[in-house]
Structure formats: structure tokens, C-alpha cells
Amino acid sequence: MSASQSTRRPGAPVAARHRTVAGPAGRLHAVEQGDGSLVLLVHGFPESWYSWRHQLPALAGAGYRAVALDVRGYGRSSRPADPAAYRMRELVADNLALVRALGEETAVVVGHDWGSNIAAASALLHPEVFRAVGLLSVPYAPPGGPRPGEVFAGMGGPEEFYVSYFQRPGRAEAEIEPDVRGWLAGFFAALSADTMPGADAPDPHFVSRADGGTLRERFPRGVRPAWLSEADLDVYAGEFERTGLTGALNRYRNMDRDWAELAGLAGRPLEQPALFVGGTRDASTTWMAEAIDAFPRTLPALAGAHLLEGCGHWVQQERPAEVNGLLTGWLDALPEV
């Protein structure tokens, strides 16, 4: 047991600090705050460690060592050129390397969006290290089933699902990178409860197959979610203007590789203590309603599945106080290590 994993001592946390450690692909950047048992926070698309800015001080104040990383391809972490470097096993290896570099033996891992999938895979592949798993927005679905590329290609009829749109190298980059800030503002607004299009508007998750449409065409215009300040948007835009979007988008380009590489774990439940938090207005919780219904089988040690009424996709940013309360309550109930 490391020194930081001794008895929790809630109190005034130390200031957050940036640190960079060696990872399998080169460099892993993370932001750390607090002392105590390690809680690793894994963001989704198109975000960064900054997505956890409300959770870092809350978890630190509750007596935990909270660490939010830039996932491979994002921010100050390395961005390998090979698209295959972004497959799930590689991202899990990054999480494992970060835990070791921090001098820890175990961690609780919490993820949002793609980070939820990465957190779940980390717990599935290394249960000896990742002792509990928190999933935000995207519910756990065990490996297996039909090939993802075929499933997504068949969605939408005359329209193309955004996952398929993202999978073709260079295509989404051509849409996004001429105006990164504007695209991010629209994407965040399209999936936020207070700014998302109404039920009678075209679904922003699809593009027209017939006329070479773009996602941007369906984003809300001239609105900004309440949770996203101009300064927050500056942070996100500044990172992607510097790095480009290819590293982030390469996650989508490995879904069929992951399906093949994880085939031996088909149907495998996560046995560790688990928590799920989603929003009732998040498409992820409706598209994957069957995965939520299957939690008694797929997450047998689930402590709670919470759907926040009227919340969109960006749960820990839209509703930070509620998410912080759920996270700290769950963490406090875990056995101390």
C-alpha cells in the first residue's frame, strides 16, 4: 500500500498541479489535486483533462488523490502518427502506466463518453489494478456482438451516423479544423440540455449522404450552453487549434480493431464496484437503454445507476454539484485500501 492510499483525511486540498510522465507512446500529461486513494479521471471526445475541472477540487477536498489525464492524442499527451496506436488496448496501457508512474498499486477509474469505454476496458483487462469503475454518460456494454462498423453503416437510411462519418481519415478534420472554436461551440451546444435542437429539428448526430453534408449544418447557431463560459471554450479551442483533431478522431477509427482484439472477452461482466451517471436528455442513454437494463448481469456490483433529469451529454460539466455528490458518496462507501 502506498502512502497516498492510507486512511482518507478530508480537508483543504493542495492546489492542482500539472505533471508529465513517460507512457507507452511517449508522454502522458495529467493534472493532479489532493492526497489519498487514487481516482483516475478519463475524458471523452472532444475534450481534455479540463473536463474534470469541477471534480478535481471536489474529490481532493473529500480526501482523494484526483488525477485527470489528457488521453493519448489530446492536449499535452503524445499523438502517435499511426491510427492503430489509438486502439483500446493501447489506451488501457496508458492508464496502467500512469498509475505506476504515480507510485500507486491500485486506482478507481472514472470515465465520461469515450473515457467511460476506456475506464470499463481498463477495469476489464486489469482488475488487479482498477478496483472500482465509474461510468458517465455511456453505459457499460461487454465486448462482443456484431462488428461495429457494420452496425453504424446501417444506421440512418439516407443519412450517415456521425460515428461512420468520423471513421474516414481526413473527412471530419476538413470540416472542423478551418474553424475549431466555432465547431466545438456548436458540438457542445448540440448535446447540451439547454441548447440542443428540439424534437422537430434534424438530428445533429447524422449528416446527409446525398449532398456531402456536414455535422456543423445541424448544430444550433448563436447559442452557448450555460455550463460553457467563453473562457472554457477558449481552453478547449486552444488545445485543438494547437494539436489538430486527428489524434482525437483516431479513437473512432479503431472500433473494428477493438472488436476483434477483445473478442475473447465477449459477454464478460465487470465484477468491480461500479457507478453509472447519465442524463435523461443524453442520446447515449436512449440508444443504449438495453445496456442499462442489462446492468444486473453486466455490472453485478453496481452501487447505483443515476439518470439526472433534464441533463444532456456533458453530465459532469452540466451538473457538477450533483455528479460530485454522487462520486464522493460512492467513493466514500468503497472499502479503504
Using CA atoms, how far apart are residues 129 and 70, in angstroms rounded to an integer? 20
Quickly tell me which residue has 457542445 as its cell: 188
Query: Which one is catalytic: 35, 70, 113, 282?
Result: 113
For residue 317, the one-letter residue type is Q
Nearest of 301, 324, 253, 230 to residue 90 by alpha carbon: 253
Query: Which one is catalytic: 29, 112, 205, 313?
Result: 313
What are 282's three cell numbers? 443524453
Angle at 307 between CA 302 and CA 311, to 5 degrees: 145
Nearest of 184, 205, 179, 224 to residue 318 by alpha carbon: 224
Q: Which residues contact residue 174 at a Cβ distance below 8 angstroms, ignoring those fewer than 6 apart?
A: none
Cβ–Cβ under 8 Å, residues 312 and 191? yes
The number of helices, as runs of H, and strands, as runs of E, in the chain is 15, 10
What are 197's three cell numbers? 435542437
Q: What is the dihedral of CA 291, 296, 298, 300, to 10 degrees?
A: 150
Using CA atoms, how far apart are residues 242 and 249, in angstroms rounded to an integer? 15
Known catalytic membership, residue 234: no
Q: Is 157 strand, coil or helix?
A: coil
Known catalytic membership, residue 200: no
Cβ–Cβ under 8 Å, residues 90 and 72? yes
What are the residue numbers of the active site? Answer: 113, 313
